[in-house]
Structure 1
């Protein structure tokens, strides 16, 4: 299907093309202000973009007014925006904010473009795309790599899929929130990328906790071992920014919860099954994360896996209370 711009909406039209849809920075909306959404909005406002925001818990939206954002009262207040970003927890959450009672596109007016940065399934995303396009709304998937701390300092990676022309037009907005934005193809390919990314994310933290416990039980100070890994060929932005919490056991400084990681591991294994790919390391990690969730870990950082791994090894780990870099300082 091709599209014709018409005021604040798009209508199907047989004689025009995707390139005639323009993503404008004049009216930008944002739905979902958790740890990630809040940090990303702040990057947009810092870059000079006017952003209108809505969050289910209004108290989370209010502080963004100090950064130049406009807090609106309902999702439909954003329906006349040109572009609306969404950043929510699950596929069902995204469906609700878009199509549910009082949803963004549930009324007569709709934004021209929806850009979603949530971590959701490929199948759910395809269903949402079909519904949005039937309503004349263009849809771009734009999941990210990095946590709220990474977002705060502008070091996210944004990986997008959908109409290439729309990505090209949205790229300045994506770039304002990240160190790099890239397009991987049409449709839901960015969802596949995010699922693969977060599956690897889980496997790495599992292995990092295991080897850290091994090193400490053998006698290497935990902070020294982690520093050595960070400076080795195995070091990465990920291992560096998890080093402070693994060193000082500050699991109350939440970046990502065990429950959310379990959701992503399940998405990864579901995709592997659909595509006929064996992933034994991911399967073992999934069970380890499920055990943490089963033990009642809720609003706590998933790096608490270190404590569980140490307990399994008969090691009573303690906070080291030393200052270590997270590698994110500019």
Structure 2
């Protein structure tokens, strides 16, 4: 069976890698904080350096934090592309810059390495339950090589076009989520302020036209005062910032996106960047002098 490397074992990456181990693949893993890989090592994975993973793997996955991390892990002199075997496959699941994805693809071609930019959507729950949406940029050859592996943690997997198209699709995804998160926290604030049973409101609305992922997954967490991350505020701000940069490049005006970015920036200013994206409720609470959850 092919040898697989996995770099980045955080909130989502750990669950995704776990599915591959349970499917029988031999995994080498790396994370800057080694303790975050302990659960995978207990399942049989081996901790290794980035260069060791590159040299010995047929397929390498990356799931790191920021575009700067992607650039360091993949393009630096000690990074993956300098050490991967010709004919091997690199799949980057990080939400990153479309232009960086294109640059990685160009550099990989020089090394005879296949590459996919393949950001995911579905959060911590989607990763644990193996039902992520995976949006992919790259060649059909690379896509076909990686598809069977990704099926172990992805439910909807789609090749969207050449290099960079996976990242463009993920930016689209984040723009839609940004608006739905605002609608969710404002709607719940209205429901609580008007005296409604907010749990009943969530259950009812999720059977009608207002149904959406944010309301279904994050709404109950907001009511419980659970602001632990399924997806970090600081990572979402990174995504929204990339979206705004792409809009500037394309001369595209999206005022809703700009507003939501400012609301999330205020969370970081208040020291809440390591909370989950549902912490947006804190902004609305501060604006109105209200508390939506007694535990919050």
Query: Does TM-score exceed 0.5, indicating one fold?
Result: yes
Match of 2:124 in 1: 148
Gaps of 5+ in 1: 1-24, 322-330
For 2:279 and 2:219, locate their aligned partners in 1 and report how far apart those are by CA, in whole Å. Answer: 12
Between 259-268 and 129-138, report the one with greater CA deviation.
129-138
Deviations 1:80-124 (A, max 9, x none): 211100001111101111233532233485671110000101112
Q: TM-score, normalised by structure 1?
A: 0.84
Deviations 1:24-54 (A, max 9, x none): x511111111111101001112222222211
Q: TM-score, normalised by structure 2?
A: 0.93
Match of 1:167 in 2: 143
Question: Structure 1 residue 224: deviation in Å?
Answer: 2.1
Is 2:73 the counterpart of 1:97? yes
For 1:225 and 1:35, locate their aligned partners in 2 and report how far apart those are by CA, in whole Å. Answer: 29
Match of 1:255 in 2: 230
RMSD across aligned positions (CA): 1.9
Deviations 1:243-267 (A, max 9, x none): 331110111x211222111111111
Q: Secondary structure at the match of 1:179?
A: strand
Deviations 1:278-328 (A, max 9, x none): 21111111111111111221321121111220231232222479xxxxxxx
For 1:63 and 1:298, locate their aligned partners in 2 and report how far apart those are by CA, in whole Å. Answer: 25
Are the counterparts in 1 of residues 50 and 79 from structure 2 also a CA contact under 8 Å? yes
Are the counterparts in 2 of residues 76 and 105 from structure 1 also a CA contact under 8 Å? no
- In our comparison, the structure showing a higher alpha carbon Rg is 1
Match of 1:61 in 2: 37
Match of 2:196 in 1: 220
Name the CA shift for 1:305/1:237 in 2 (closer, same or farther; >3 Å).
closer
Match of 2:206 in 1: 230
Question: Structure 1 residue 159: deviation in Å?
Answer: 1.4
Deviations 1:134-192 (A, max 9, x none): 22221111111111221101111111110112201211111111112111111211110
Greater helix percent: which structure?
2
For 1:60 and 1:188, locate their aligned partners in 2 and report how far apart those are by CA, in whole Å. Answer: 29
Question: Structure 1 residue 61: deviation in Å?
Answer: 1.4
Match of 1:274 in 2: 249
For 1:186 and 1:109, locate their aligned partners in 2 and report how far apart those are by CA, in whole Å. Answer: 22
For 1:142 and 1:303, locate their aligned partners in 2 and report how far apart those are by CA, in whole Å. Answer: 24
Are the counterparts in 1 of residues 180 and 212 from structure 2 also a CA contact under 8 Å? no
Are the counterparts in 2 of residues 112 and 138 from structure 1 also a CA contact under 8 Å? yes
Match of 1:265 in 2: 240
Deviations 1:230-249 (A, max 9, x none): 22222133421113311101
Residue correspondences, number: 295
